[in-house]
Chain A
Amino acid sequence: GNSVTQMEGPVTLSEEAFLTINCTYTATGYPSLFWYVQYPGEGLQLLLKATKADDKGSNKGFEATYRKETTSFHLEKGSVQVSDSAVYFCALSDGRRGGSNYKLTFGKGTLLTVNP
């Protein structure tokens, strides 16, 4: 079955530091890949996505590239802010032919804390 492995946290950085959160996956077919962010006390918000190999998703200064050869989708940001403190989830959809886009497989999440 599908699975997602995320870098274990927590991750603590100073403001303006470079961020990388690793995500690797195993999947059948051609899944879409997602990063969701969960701010304290809130639900998940879609941060970015990529639907095919070599696509780069980007939003709010965050980027991730769909690497099929390494089955990875690492999240990066060049300069983090205190407001980026949240839990980040890597996820993928069912990539089989006729598979269900709604049945996402999530990683366990990585807690990021950014200090001023």
Chain B
Amino acid sequence: NAGVMQNPRHLVRRRGQEARLRCSPMKGHSHVYWYRQLPEEGLKFMVYLQKENIIDESGMPKERFSAEFPKEGPSILRIQQVVRGDSAAYFCASSPPSVSNSPLHFGNGTRLTVT
């Protein structure tokens, strides 16, 4: 029973390049969430998606960041023109369709390093 799968585990990009982070939710889960963990900080909510819909993007930076969860395939967090401040661990979580009282199940994260 696979958990939340994220890839790649580690990603290195030079300033100005694009970063694409992938997340496959647990089987039976249709809700996906992205969180970011900056060095020595707690995780911070970025965005909540259901299939083909962005439900809440209140934590997303206004520029360069986007997220999608297509009908088929994994959820993608895309960061354009990366800067050093984007270096962080990005965690994806998922939950079943009934959100209330369902804990979030987190993946192992993608550690992005911008050089």
Q: Which residues of A contact B (CB under 8 A)?
A: 4, 32, 34, 36, 41-46, 49, 51, 89, 91, 100-109
- Flag whether B101 is at the interface (Cβ < 8 A): yes
Q: A89 CA to B37 CA in the complex, in Å?
A: 12
Task: Given contact pairs A101-B102, A102-B31, enumerate 4 new A-B contacts (beta carbons under 8 Å).
Answer: A46-B105, A102-B56, A104-B43, A105-B42
Q: How far is the CA of A102 from the CA of B95 in the complex (A)?
A: 9
Q: Are A104 and B45 in contact (CB under 8 A)?
A: yes
Is A106 in contact with B43, judged by CB distance below 8 angstroms? yes
From B48, B58, B100, B108, A43 is in contact (CB under 8 Å) with B108
Interface residues of B (CB under 8 A from A): 4, 6, 31, 33, 35, 40-45, 48, 56, 58-59, 91, 93, 95, 99-109
A-chain residues with CB within 8 Å of residue B95 when the two chains form the complex: 102
CB–CB B101/A45 < 8 A? no
Q: Is the CB of B56 within 8 A of A44?
A: no
Task: Provide the bound-state CA to CA distance between A107 and B41, in Å.
Answer: 8
B59: A residues at CB distance < 8 A? 103
Given known pairs A43-B109, A100-B56, the reply for A49 and B42 (CB within 8 Å) is no
Chain A contacts for B58, CB-based, 8 A: 103
Nearest residue in A to B48 (C-beta to C-beta)?
A: A102
- Interface pairs A-B: 3 shortest CB-CB: A106-B42, A43-B108, A43-B106
Known contacts A106-B43, A106-B44, A108-B41, A43 near B91 by CB under 8 Å: yes
Residue pair B107, A43 in contact (C-beta under 8 Å): yes
Residue of B nearest to A45 (CB): B106
- State the CA gap A32–B101 with chains docked (Å): 9
Nearest-neighbour CB distance to chain A for B49, whole angstroms, equals: 11
B101 touches A101 (CB 8 A): yes
Cross-chain contact A107 with B108 (CB below 8 angstroms): no
- A102 engages B101 (CB within 8 Å): no
How far, in angstroms, from A103 to B6 measured CA to CA in the complex? Answer: 20
**Contact between A102 and B99, CB atoms less than 8 A apart:** yes
> CA separation between A31 and B52, bound complex, in Å?
29
| Cβ–Cβ < 8 Å partners of A109 in chain B | 42
30 contacts between A and B (CB under 8 A): A34-B103, A36-B106, A42-B108, A43-B4, A43-B91, A43-B107, A43-B109, A44-B43, A44-B91, A44-B106, A45-B106, A46-B104, A89-B42, A91-B42, A91-B43, A100-B48, A100-B56, A101-B99, A101-B100, A102-B56, A102-B99, A103-B48, A104-B43, A104-B45, A104-B104, A105-B42, A106-B43, A107-B42, A108-B41, A109-B42
